[in-house]
């Protein structure tokens, strides 16, 4: 226990007392947040729980240190152990993703994306991208990383019925644009991108094929989604904290065409878009990678089973889950049209009151100006799967969602059922320390 008090020499100092009050305020907010999430069903598709062993690294001394450059060629002393951990993380990333090049330094998925843009484009270039209104991430848009680099993103046409890129339309756009760089990957990522189908056209124009795997990285590693680096992608970027249940960080994985391409990627990360690379998160990632090599297959398998089961159960209970004709999803994510039951905002706000946390989402046919009350909600099952929930719990979750969103029951009443369901799921699975109570690690010192 650390002593929570103002040092004697600042006793009766008004400013010290006020600021100490602020410290206590923040600690109290965190404590309340922990209690809330301990009793909630978090279903934001981009979040997850890291394992107890990975979490431990985040408060290690690595969080206080600097390392710039590459292992063995640093600009700072003191990196003996940092270098060993970084080399291990690179080794495990290459093993897990079966690739020649791995960079564990990007501090987030967006930073990894900036590095790829920096490496392979110049301001004024045109690249091809999935459209934000169809579910792409903000970093592939002109008001995100793509725009920051000063390149123009030409969007692929999208088949809204099947929620995937229209292959013939995309082939035409690629032939016309002749992009240096062609980006695939989305944030509402229900079905694989047509890499195999578009590969001949991409080869024809000589594009560097870039796959943003932020959402589906853990599924790819577990062999449960497409395998981009085998299907034609040269470089894959990702966040490491969505379906890969690691720390908030980024990664670049690649099979570069040649040494020049590899060097461009390396120098785009540093000195390009990072300096220090959050060594504690890098160490934590190393542990997450080791765990995913062992547990990733069964975890990814259960995620996809759960997503399909939740989609089916919600569909049967009257929800308009997108893509019923093709099994709702092949990932961890479901998209649901809730326009007839109050819209996205009404639904997610009621859900939040009942301790089910998710986000509202634009659907492809929504007006972009409807961002504040879009037709859709996006649900992810990766975190519920992580705490051990299976198909039968997905049915229970579907019932709870029906009570809230369709039957319009009092969320405060439904909340009691949510808390009861959650009480049976307090440990993190698919990791080495499966017996540790999840929220034990959240307790303050």
Which residues of the shown chain bind ligand PLP in the complex (CB under 6 A)?
A: 46, 108-110, 113, 137, 139, 185-187, 212, 214-215, 239, 250
List the structure tokens of 26.
């923040």
Q: Quick one: CA torsion of 400, 402, 405, 409, rounded to 10 degrees?
A: -70
Q: DSSP state, 207?
A: P
> How far apart are the C-alpha atoms of 202 and 78, rounded to whole Å?
45
Least distance (Å) between residue 113 CB and ligand PLP: 6
> Of 307 and 350, which CB lies nearer to ligand PLP in the complex structure?
307
> Of 106 and 179, which CB lies nearer to ligand PLP in the complex structure?
106
Least distance (Å) between residue 112 CB and ligand PLP: 8
> Of 137 and 402, which CB lies nearer to ligand PLP in the complex structure?
137
List C-alpha distances in Å: 349 to 23, 28, 80, 368, 402.
29, 24, 49, 20, 14
User: What's the farthest any 2 CA atoms get from each other in the chain?
Assistant: 75
Residues 387/303, Cβ–Cβ less than 8 Å? no
Least distance (Å) between residue 186 CB and ligand PLP: 6
> Of 86 and 134, which CB lies nearer to ligand PLP in the complex structure?
134
> Of 188 and 350, which CB lies nearer to ligand PLP in the complex structure?
188
Least distance (Å) between residue 321 CB and ligand PLP: 20
Q: DSSP state, 359?
A: E
Least distance (Å) between residue 54 CB and ligand PLP: 16
> Of 105 and 215, which CB lies nearer to ligand PLP in the complex structure?
215
Least distance (Å) between residue 148 CB and ligand PLP: 13
Least distance (Å) between residue 417 CB and ligand PLP: 31
Distance, CA of 252 to chain centre: 14
Residue 210, SS3 per DSSP: strand
> How far apart are the C-alpha atoms of 88 and 74, rounded to whole Å?
17
> How far apart are the C-alpha atoms of 259 and 261, rounded to whole Å?
5
> How far apart are the C-alpha atoms of 384 and 90, rounded to whole Å?
29
Residue 302, SS3 per DSSP: helix
Question: If you search the block for the tokens 């034609």, which residue do you land on?
Answer: 232
> Of 247 and 256, which CB lies nearer to ligand PLP in the complex structure?
247
Least distance (Å) between residue 329 CB and ligand PLP: 15
> At residue 247, what are phi and psi to the nearest 5 degrees?
-75, 165
What residue is closest to ligand PLP based on CB?
109
> Of 183 and 341, which CB lies nearer to ligand PLP in the complex structure?
183
Which burial class, exposed, middle or buried, applies to 3 when counting CB atoms under 10 A from its CB (0-12, 13-18, 19+)? Answer: exposed
């Amino acid at each position: 226990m650390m002593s929570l008090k103002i040092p004697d020499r600042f006793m009766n100092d008004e400013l010290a007392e006020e600021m100490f009050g602020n410290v206590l305020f923040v600690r109290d907010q965190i404590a309340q947040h922990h209690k809330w999430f301990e009793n909630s069903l978090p279903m934001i598709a981009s979040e997850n729980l890291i394992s107890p062993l990975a979490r431990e690294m985040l408060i290690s001394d690595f969080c206080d240190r600097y390392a710039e450059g590459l292992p063995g060629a640093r600009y700072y002393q003191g990196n003996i152990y940092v270098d060993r951990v970084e080399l291990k993380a690179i080794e495990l990333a290459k093993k897990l993703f079966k690739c020649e090049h791995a960079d564990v330094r990007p501090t987030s998925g967006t930073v990894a994306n900036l590095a790829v843009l920096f490496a392979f484009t110049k301001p004024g270039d045109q690249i091809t991208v999935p459209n934000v209104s169809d579910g792409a991430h903000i970093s592939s848009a002109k008001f995100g990383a793509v725009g920051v680099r000063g390149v123009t993103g030409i969007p692929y046409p999208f088949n809204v019925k099947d929620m995937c890129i229209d292959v013939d339309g995309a082939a035409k756009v690629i032939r016309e644009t002749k992009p240096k760089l062609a980006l695939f990957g989305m944030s509402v990522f229900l079905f694989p991108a047509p890499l195999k189908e578009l590969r001949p056209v991409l080869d024809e124009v000589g594009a560097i094929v870039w796959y943003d795997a932020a959402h589906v990285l853990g599924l790819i590693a577990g062999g449960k989604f497409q395998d981009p680096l085998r299907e034609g992608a040269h470089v894959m970027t990702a966040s490491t904290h969505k379906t890969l249940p690691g720390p908030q960080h980024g990664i670049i994985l690649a099979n570069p065409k040649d040494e020049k391409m590899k060097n461009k990627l390396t120098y785009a990360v540093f000195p390009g878009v990072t300096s220090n690379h959050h060594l504690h998160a890098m160490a934590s990632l190393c542990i997450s990678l080791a765990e995913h090599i062992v547990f990733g297959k069964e975890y990814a398998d259960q995620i996809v089973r759960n997503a399909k089961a939740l989609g089916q159960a919600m569909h049967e209970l009257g929800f308009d889950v997108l893509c019923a004709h093709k099994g709702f999803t092949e990932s961890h994510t479901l998209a649901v049209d809730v326009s007839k039951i109050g819209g996205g905002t009404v639904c997610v706000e009621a859900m939040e009151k009942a301790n089910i946390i998710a986000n509202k989402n634009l659907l492809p046919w929504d007006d972009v100006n409807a961002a504040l009350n879009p037709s859709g909600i996006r649900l992810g099952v990766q975190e519920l799967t992580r705490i051990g929930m299976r198909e039968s719990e997905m049915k229970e979750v579907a019932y709870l969602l029906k009570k809230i969103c369709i039957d319009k029951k009092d969320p405060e009443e439904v909340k009691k059922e949510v808390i009861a369901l959650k009480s049976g799921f307090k440990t993190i699975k698919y990791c080495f320390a499966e017996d540790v109570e999840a929220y034990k690690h959240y307790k303050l010192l």
